[in-house]
Amino acid sequence: MSVRNVKILGVGKYLPKKAVMSEEIDHRLRKKCGWTEKNIGVTKRYFIKNETASSMGAYAAKEAVKHAGIKLEDISCIICASGSMEQPIPCTASLIQKELGLEKSGIPSFDINSTCLSFVTALDTLSYLVEGGRYENVLIVSSEIASVGINWKDDKSAALFGDGAAAVVLGKTPLQENSKIIYSKMMTFSEGAHLSEIYGGGSKFPPNLHNLTEETKEQFLFSMDGVKIFKMARKIMPNFVNTIWKESGLTIDDITLVIPHQASKSSMELIRKHLNIPKDKWFSIVKNHGNMIAASIPTALYEAIKEEKIKRGDVVILLGTSAGLSLGGLLFEY
C-alpha cells in the first residue's frame, strides 16, 4: 500500500444551460409519461446548448481554482480526465488551457482516458507526481458531452446520460495536516470490452466519407449491453471490494461516504445491497444529473463537499466501473 500525502484543495462544477426533464425524454422515446423516472431513476439531466467540452471544463476549473485559494497562474499541470473528446487532435486539456487564457503559459496539458473511471485514474496517477514534487498544483478536469453520441433507439441508455463538467485542484498536503490518498486499485477484464462501446470514430472504423452512410451511422453512437455489464460487475465487484478492505486495512465502518459512478438508479441500488454498503453511506446524484461518464464521480464529490456530507478528516471511497470492462477504487482522507 502506497500512501500519498496529497490534498484536494478545491472543487468546481459546471452544468449546461439546458435542463432536460424526464417527461421530454419520455416523449422523445415514445414512452408513457413517467417511464424514464420509474425505470432509469433520472428526473433531470443537462444537455449542451452552445457549450463545448473545453468551455465547460474551463468554467468548472475556474471555480475549483477559486475554491483552492490560488490563481490560474499557480497551476503547474492541466489534465483532462474524460471518456469523450472534443476533437481527435489536439488533446482536450490543451483546449481547456486555451479557454482559461493560459495559451502562452507553457503549462503541461494532457488527457487521461479510462472512460467512466478517467477521473479516478487521473487522481491516482497524478498523486504520485505531486507527492514526488514534479508538480505543485494539478488541475484535473472531467468534461463530458454524452448527448451527441446517444442512440435514441436504445431507450435505456438514451434515458440515462447527461452532460457536464467537474474539476479539482490537487496539491501536496501541508505538514500539519492529514489529507492523503490511502489506497487505490484498478482491474480490467477485457472479456467485457465490447459490452459498452462506440465502434466508429477511430482508426479501425474512421469517420471518412466512405464510412459515413445511413446504414453505418449507428456505429458512431454509443451502444451498451446493460444487462450483461450488470451481471459481470455483480460477479467480480465483491472480490474487488473485499481486496480493497483487506489490503487497505480498513472496513466500511471506517468510511464516511461511498461515492460511486452514477449508473442507473436500480443497478446502483442492487450493487449497493450486494456489497453490503449502508444506504446512508452511499451518495447518489443520478436523479438530477444522469450518468455524466467520467464527470459523474467528481460532480458527486463536489456535491458531497458542498452539502457537507464529508468534511476534512473524513475517509471517502470513490468506486466504479468503466468500459473495458474495468473496476476502480480509491480511498482517501479528505
Domains 6-172 and 180-333 share a fold: yes
- Are 202 and 30 a contacting pair, CB within 8 Å? no
- Greater confidence, 227 or 86? 86
Is residue 56 classed as helix, strand or coil in its secondary structure? Answer: helix
Residue 232's alpha-carbon distances to 149, 156, 199, 229, 326, in angstroms, are 24, 18, 21, 5, 11
**Residue 1: is its pLDDT beyond 70?**
no
- Are 226 and 154 a contacting pair, CB within 8 Å? no
Buried b (16+ CB within 10 A) or exposed e, 232-258: bbeebbeebbeebbeebebeeeebbbb
Q: pLDDT of 30-89, one tens digit each?
A: 999 999 999 999 999 999 999 999 999 999 999 999 999 999 999 999 999 999 999 999
CATH class of 180-333: alpha beta
Contacts of 259 by beta carbon, 8 Å cutoff, 6+ apart: 283, 297, 300, 301, 304, 316, 317, 318, 319
**Which of 298, 322, 304 lies closest to 255, judged by CA?**
304
Domain boundaries, given as residue ranges, for the chain: 6-172, 180-333
Lookup: cell for 16: 449546461
Q: pLDDT of 97-143, one tens digit each?
A: 999 999 999 999 999 999 999 999 999 999 999 999 999 999 999 99
State the average pLDDT over residues 12-34.
95
What is the dotted CATH code of the domain comprising 6-172?
A: 3.40.47.10
Residue 331's alpha-carbon distances to 42, 62, 242, 243, in angstroms, are 27, 26, 13, 12
Q: Is the dihedral of CA 280, 259, 256, 10 positive or negative?
A: negative
d(CA 4, CA 11): 19
DSSP secondary structure of 209-242: TTT-STTTGGGGS-EE-HHHHHHHHHHHHHHHHH
**Which of 152, 151, 147 lies closest to 26, judged by CA?**
152
Is residue 110 classed as helix, strand or coil in its secondary structure? Answer: strand
CA dihedral 71, 72, 73, 77 (to 10 degrees): 130
Q: CB-side exposure of 17: number of CA atoms within 13 Å?
A: 5
Contacts of 235 by beta carbon, 8 Å cutoff, 6+ apart: none
Q: pLDDT of 181-200, one tens digit each?
A: 999 999 999 998 898 888 88
Q: Indicate the pTM of the whole model.
A: 0.95
- Are 119 and 143 a contacting pair, CB within 8 Å? no
Contacts of 19 by beta carbon, 8 Å cutoff, 6+ apart: 44, 45, 46
H helices present in the chain, as ranges: 22-29, 35-39, 53-68, 92-99, 118-131, 155-158, 226-248, 265-274, 286-289, 296-306
* Mean model confidence pLDDT for the chain: 94
- Give pLDDT, residue 230: 83
Q: Residue 16: is the preceding peptide bond cis (ω within 30°)? A: no
- Give pLDDT, residue 198: 82
Residue type at position 57: G
Rounded to the nearest 5°, which phi and psi values hold at 143? -130, 120
